[in-house]
Amino acid sequence: MRSNRLESEPGPSRLASPLALEVDGLSVDFSSHEGNKRVVDGVSYAIARGQTLGVVGESGCGKSMTALALLGLVPKQGCVTGRISVSGQGLSEIAIDEWPEIRGKRIAMVFQEPMTALNPAMRIGDQIAEVLHLHEGLSWKEARERAVEELRLVGIPSPAERANAYPHQLSGGMRQRVVIAMALACRPDVLIADEPTTALDVTIQAQILELMQRLQDEIGMAVQFISHNLAVVSEIADDVIVMYAGQIVERASADELFSNPLHPYTQGLIATLPKIENRQDELPVIPGMVPRLDGTLKGCRFAGRCVKADSECHALIPVLRSISPGHDVACHKVRP
């Protein structure tokens, strides 16, 4: 049922280009002696080639776990259900030992902390060469030569010498470029970037965002850009989904979402940000905290913090439905 809706998703670019990534009803459960915790709950979305989907939410909303599920890297205790396809190939059916062939080749990932994401005891050229050696069948020598080219592509000065450097000899921004080079070396269909600029300084963040946009234009991969920073997402994403407590609560194009947010949580998130162009003495706040996901929760997961919530919200789970073309919201109080 959900996949039907995905295919009927409007937007000219959507129809024209094939979908690089389709996620349908993805859920991740963790069960422990304290009971079942559903940290990702029935998440569905799609990204077309050359497009960027921004995923926004606070810590614990399930955005990073969604990313790990796409790579088959959810910790062993977790149970993943739902359908994932990359350029039409379903990944849900594949065996565990086929996953390494997908990772780094079809779907690649850039992580938050460039300081710790690289192997400290391995030259950066070798770390990039490893991906090419694993997936492209290149000899180590050929792979090392290609690695230098990849370093050049991400704008690292004198790449041939830098290939012999160890990660600790590079700045944070340079390391993140190396991580990006590593992720894109095999020209994957989908790049998942999990808070890729959060650990960086603003001027370096701007450089990395610029780099990611340029590479996307050149390579044409689909990008899933995960961030808690709404402003960064508004600058880089074509479409945005907002996640709260494991669920998608709102989805729209970036322009639409930031100019006309409909879900009370999205509205709250945007309102709480201090804005340089419009200073207020008192910032609006979202009261309360993210609820515990222990399965006892009924109704809308945001109801406890929502000013508009009534008895309906506490009793019934709102479904994500289209409010206007291309704008879906999961809220009882928002009607077409």
Interface of this chain with other proteins, residues 247 to 286, rule: CB under 8 A: 254-255, 258-259, 268-270, 272-277, 279-286
Please report how close the Cβ of residue 258 comes to other proteins at its closest, in angstroms.
Answer: 5
Q: Which is nearer to other proteins, 87 or 258 (CB)?
A: 258
User: How far is residue 151's CA from residue 46's CA, in Å, rounded to a whole number?
Assistant: 30
Please report how close the Cβ of residue 231 comes to other proteins at its closest, in angstroms.
Answer: 4
Please report how close the Cβ of residue 13 comes to other proteins at its closest, in angstroms.
Answer: 14
Please report how close the Cβ of residue 40 comes to other proteins at its closest, in angstroms.
Answer: 18
Pairing state between β 52-56 and 35-48: unpaired
Q: Report which residue type is found at 5.
A: R
User: Could you give the residue ranges of the DSSP H alpha helices within the chain?
Assistant: 2-7, 12-16, 63-70, 99-102, 124-136, 140-153, 159-162, 172-184, 202-219, 230-236, 254-259, 264-272, 311-315
Q: Which is nearer to other proteins, 6 or 134 (CB)?
A: 134
Q: Does 145 bind other proteins (CB under 8 A)?
A: no
Provide the 8-state DSSP code for 320. Answer: P
Q: Does 307 bind other proteins (CB under 8 A)?
A: no
Provide the 8-state DSSP code for 278. Answer: B
Please report how close the Cβ of residue 268 comes to other proteins at its closest, in angstroms.
Answer: 7
In the region spanning residues 1 to 40, those forming contacts with other proteins, defined by CB under 8 A, are none
Q: Which of 92, 119, 158, 260 binds other proteins (CB under 8 A)?
A: 119
Q: Does 242 bind other proteins (CB under 8 A)?
A: no
Q: Does 139 bind other proteins (CB under 8 A)?
A: no
Structure tokens at 145: 């030569």
Q: Which is nearer to other proteins, 1 or 95 (CB)?
A: 95
Q: Does 51 bind other proteins (CB under 8 A)?
A: no
Please report how close the Cβ of residue 274 comes to other proteins at its closest, in angstroms.
Answer: 4
Q: Does 53 bind other proteins (CB under 8 A)?
A: no
User: How far is residue 321's CA from residue 240's CA, in Å, rounded to a whole number?
Assistant: 15
Q: Is the dihedral of CA 173, 176, 182, 185 positive or negative?
A: negative
Bridge partner residues of 251 (DSSP)? 241, 328
User: How far is residue 104's CA from residue 108's CA, in Å, rounded to a whole number?
Assistant: 4
Q: Does 309 bind other proteins (CB under 8 A)?
A: no
In the region spanning residues 156 to 175, those forming contacts with other proteins, defined by CB under 8 A, are 166, 168, 171-174
Q: Which is nearer to other proteins, 117 or 148 (CB)?
A: 117
Contacts of 99 (CB under 8 A, 6+ apart): 71, 72
Q: Does 62 bind other proteins (CB under 8 A)?
A: no
CB 144 within 8 A of CB 125: yes
b/e map of 117-131 (b: 16 or more CB within 10 Å)?
bbeeeebbbbbbbbb
Q: Which is nearer to other proteins, 103 or 332 (CB)?
A: 103
In the region spanning residues 83 to 102, those forming contacts with other proteins, defined by CB under 8 A, are 97, 100-102
Coil/strand/helix, residue 330: coil
Please report how close the Cβ of residue 71 comes to other proteins at its closest, in angstroms.
Answer: 6
| Per-residue mark of binding to other proteins, 184-223 (x: CB under 8 A) | -----------------xxxxxxx-xx--x----------
